[in-house]
Structure 1
């Protein structure tokens, strides 16, 4: 087959631009974000330049969100390249038509037809960039179908082709694809190392194609969300926002902004999450309807956390096929005291996730633990908690480790092991605070308080409940804050007596089995003074005997 096509649209050098070639000038206009100007330039060259002008026009329409014109121009460019014998150009257009059919119309079957056409066109050619980009496009579809092994292999092959051809965009996108696949199966170090390198190249100006820069960045944010690494995500979000604003790529950043909104939710910046998600959903609905679910489903989770349960339920019902909507519906079942419904939905979610993709299973397992505990089925809950703990240990992020500790605490509390439950909830609270997840930290504190109250430590329980209520109310989680306040109200009537420092010292020695004479010798007091202190302690605690006073002091947290 004849092969005389350019590998990709690229920015011409100054010598080419000086020739006042409308196609070259159009590519320069695309590169600097002057999309309407690019459209005029390509239109001027349309009759003389043929397929390259049509391809350029299709990109101008793509950037301007004119999907009707874009599809028409892509198809015309494809046929023109075929007529001209430019196999690589035709394959390039076929590849993009495949992805555009998914992104703009949600037509996966049509997309596969175009990908198949591109493969057939390229099968007799030596490895070139078009091969690599087709691999990247196909790998994306495998990733989001949870076929991580295939996606990783496709990404690795794309990276090799890019490296061999010194095409940085392609090499880094292949690397980012590998990275996201590795992170998804829990190989965090290897995966994040690849993603960090790829995104650094993207934001550092090494990419020739703007769309590839944002695509790469979206993979990073998606990976961070999967392993709940919100600190890393927050750092990259700021850099990506700056990059897209400078390069006039705000439209292309809309899908990434859905992930960014999710980061804001988990870090407690709910006003910012609201603005980000509402804006992204509105714009995606206008220009990329199949992608709007990514913003809307996260808005549903924000509504649930805000206590606006009916609104959240309505959103999740409209997105029934989305995994996050299924998890959100399970959470709503727990919010509405329907643990059986939560169990069924969590189990349904987990049936769709292969056992080796732990990062995606974690959310379903977390809900399954809570549902089975609420149903009085601690043994079944323990099995889910054990699987969640293995995933958290393998991934190692603070947020996942904290989630696993909550599961351990829930099972321990349900089986009467209050000591283990207390330690587990304390660990979870600390880890959630460390990774700046205030909603989760507040809820873990509530569970810790319940355990402390059961251990006869109401003063400590009240302290945890007040701290939880303050944190939750500050971020706007009114429903959960009210729950903490109600639990605190149940404990408030318990009068915790005040003992003097010396009385506390005496009571500790009484608890250790010391008599008055031994206490006097230890504290260098007279026995009469010790006897008076003991009498005061019994009176303050309202107890008839020393053993009863010790028991009361343990119950109220004085000892």
Structure 2
């Protein structure tokens, strides 16, 4: 740097001032002017930074790789390591190429082995901790790395690194289920960011993104609303589009939760399409959220197309597991229950048990699919696991989700009083936390339970309330289900089943009907009765036809008929079974 000419030095200084004032284009032009005259590693490094803010991927990567090479030729391992850390992020963010990203991170670590303790030692740990959370779902490793980054920052008196490490610690704690302790760390780091104590802009915004991500994971949307407002205010204005669009994607989760679906859709389209060509790995998150919103609105084909795209390179690195979860939810809404069950199981298998906060959504889909498949024993085990996590994490929305699943399980076992209590609690908690969609789903379950208890008037009241919300949101699949329940309540007096008697069924049909009521699946019934699964399915079809039932609730309705008419008890007496 000391040997460069005055003209080049002036241009380099002009570019640095432009960076400080967030004038990214001017900064890029200045640094490009410098490197055209002389290959200076510092100028290439700064050019990479300016291009990064402009989402100019090719320039950023080329400039940083050149800076790395020149630093290595100079024998400056620390500066080369710093650039290597930036390249690890670039290949992760721009290209979605995890192997290359990992390679740059490992190079940074190797280069720093013989370097005196420096901020770069902390930043490489922070980056690896970020990967542990985002890609590997390993909060224990992320927590360790965050703590090590904080210790390095304290020794070096590096405030930015300290706050970033504290934020990583907080996110890792939340993901492991230690919500209160984790949120305290995240609130502290985010406050330092908003207060202007953090000097680097990207660090300030990343700290807030960690906090909002944690809020999403545990559905603490009241806290998320407060921070989203501040982060949006900080990143609006067009000078740093990456941070604005990433925050916009996170903000849509709040909008979807609160029922502002039209605004959420507009923001997701804008953000994901803006990031599509430059930051595909981050665009994948927006694509999956958008697909999930389309699913809720009954736009199944559009949702499936987006999820298919999100499952391909270069998007799938960040979106793979959450894309799997969204596919499970889509299959469930389409009535493809076996597929939904299989996809939810795969999602849970791919998620380490230590990362508790991302398990509930998969457990909910799995439990609901099993209830509707009549696999009541395994559904009960899944519901218990969901309840255990909800109790451990302690947030009200997770308690509400657990209550909803338990209500559906009670419906499947004809425990209508228990179902009423569970659905009423779910409605109360979802309403308290301002989620009209989930509250209305719980109301439909409550209406079904009330109807079975011969309380037709209150059943119709809560059902009409749910229908009004679904119509307002444009939640067509749930509106259709609610209308089916409404038709059933209006057309069939409570406590009756179209005058059917047990004699309506053949002996084998009655046997299968009772096995269904015991919570056995079709394959289990086939195994117990020494017949094929196809034969069981044919008998089940005949049972549904005689009962005049169809659709996703048909199995639950058939089980309800068994319990209402005491058929299970009668069969046990006839067979001589004490049970």
- Shift in Å, 1:45: 4.0
- Asked if 1:112 corresponds to 2:102, the answer is yes
* d(CA) in 2 for partners of 1:25, 1:201: 29
Selected match of 1:179 from 157, 170, 184: 170
1:458·1:494 contact (CA, 8 Å) conserved in 2? no
Partner in structure 1 of residue 86 of structure 2: 96
- Asked if 1:481 corresponds to 2:509, the answer is no
Structure with greater Cα Rg? 1
Q: 1:27 to 1:49 in 2, by over 3 A?
A: farther
- Asked if 1:53 corresponds to 2:69, the answer is no
Partner in structure 1 of residue 343 of structure 2: 345
Partner in structure 2 of residue 360 of structure 1: 358
Partner in structure 1 of residue 467 of structure 2: 469
Q: Aligned pairs, how many?
A: 481
* d(CA) in 2 for partners of 1:346, 1:132: 37
- Shift in Å, 1:40: 2.9
- Asked if 1:324 corresponds to 2:322, the answer is yes
* 1:434-453 equivalence runs, <5 A: 434-453=432-451
Partner in structure 2 of residue 124 of structure 1: 114
Structure 2: stretches of 5+ with no match in the other structure:
3-7, 495-579
Structure 1: stretches of 5+ with no match in the other structure:
6-18, 497-559
Selected match of 1:301 from 292, 299, 322: 292
1:227·1:397 contact (CA, 8 Å) conserved in 2? yes
* 1:157-196 equivalence runs, <5 A: 157-196=148-187
* d(CA) in 2 for partners of 1:327, 1:76: 40
- Asked if 1:289 corresponds to 2:280, the answer is yes
- Shift in Å, 1:20: 8.1
Q: 1:494 to 1:120 in 2, by over 3 A?
A: closer
- Shift in Å, 1:21: 4.3
* d(CA) in 1 for partners of 2:217, 2:158: 29
* d(CA) in 1 for partners of 2:356, 2:146: 21
* d(CA) in 1 for partners of 2:151, 2:486: 60
- Asked if 1:376 corresponds to 2:374, the answer is yes
Partner in structure 2 of residue 221 of structure 1: 212
* d(CA) in 2 for partners of 1:285, 1:140: 22
* d(CA) in 2 for partners of 1:121, 1:446: 61
2:272·2:286 contact (CA, 8 Å) conserved in 1? yes
2:333·2:477 contact (CA, 8 Å) conserved in 1? no
Selected match of 2:401 from 400, 403, 409: 403
* d(CA) in 2 for partners of 1:331, 1:78: 45
Partner in structure 1 of residue 16 of structure 2: 27
- Asked if 1:274 corresponds to 2:265, the answer is yes
Question: For 1:128-171, what per-residue CA distance to the aligned partner results, in whole angstroms no more than 9, with x for missing partners?
Answer: 10111111111111112112111111111111222222222111
Question: For 1:470-523, what per-residue CA distance to the aligned partner results, in whole angstroms no more than 9, with x for missing partners?
Answer: 112122213322332332233335799xxxxxxxxxxxxxxxxxxxxxxxxxxx
- Shift in Å, 1:126: 2.5
Question: For 1:261-303, what per-residue CA distance to the aligned partner results, in whole angstroms no more than 9, with x for missing partners?
Answer: 2221121110110111000111111211222110000000000
* d(CA) in 1 for partners of 2:51, 2:440: 48
Question: For 1:75-115, what per-residue CA distance to the aligned partner results, in whole angstroms no more than 9, with x for missing partners?
Answer: 11112222333222111001111111111111111122211
- Asked if 1:156 corresponds to 2:147, the answer is yes
- Shift in Å, 1:430: 0.7
- Asked if 1:40 corresponds to 2:29, the answer is yes
- Shift in Å, 1:29: 1.3
* d(CA) in 2 for partners of 1:57, 1:335: 49
Question: For 1:360-408, what per-residue CA distance to the aligned partner results, in whole angstroms no more than 9, with x for missing partners?
Answer: 1111110111011101111111111111011111111121110001111
Partner in structure 2 of residue 417 of structure 1: 415
2:54·2:240 contact (CA, 8 Å) conserved in 1? no
Q: 1:344 to 1:493 in 2, by over 3 A?
A: closer
Q: Normalising by the residue count of structure 2, what TM-score does the alignment of the two structures yield?
A: 0.79
* d(CA) in 1 for partners of 2:369, 2:415: 19
1:466·1:485 contact (CA, 8 Å) conserved in 2? no
* d(CA) in 2 for partners of 1:249, 1:165: 29
Q: Normalising by the residue count of structure 1, what TM-score does the alignment of the two structures yield?
A: 0.82
- Shift in Å, 1:247: 7.9
Q: 1:349 to 1:301 in 2, by over 3 A?
A: same
* d(CA) in 1 for partners of 2:270, 2:209: 17
- Shift in Å, 1:198: 1.1
Q: CA RMSD in A?
A: 2.2
* d(CA) in 2 for partners of 1:114, 1:443: 47
* d(CA) in 2 for partners of 1:20, 1:103: 32
2:138·2:355 contact (CA, 8 Å) conserved in 1? no
* 1:239-250 equivalence runs, <5 A: 239-245=230-236, 248-250=239-241
1:253 aligned counterpart, secondary structure? helix
1:127 aligned counterpart, secondary structure? coil
2:53·2:241 contact (CA, 8 Å) conserved in 1? no
Identify which range, 218-227 or 451-460, moves more after superposition.
218-227
1:183 aligned counterpart, secondary structure? helix
1:287 aligned counterpart, secondary structure? coil
Structure showing greater relative contact order (alpha-carbon pairs closer than 8 Å, 6 or more residues apart): 2
Question: For 1:224-272, what per-residue CA distance to the aligned partner results, in whole angstroms no more than 9, with x for missing partners?
Answer: 1111111211221111110012582233332232222222112111011
Identify which range, 334-343 or 289-298, moves more after superposition.
334-343
* d(CA) in 2 for partners of 1:48, 1:313: 51
* d(CA) in 1 for partners of 2:95, 2:39: 30
2:122·2:149 contact (CA, 8 Å) conserved in 1? yes
- Shift in Å, 1:455: 0.5
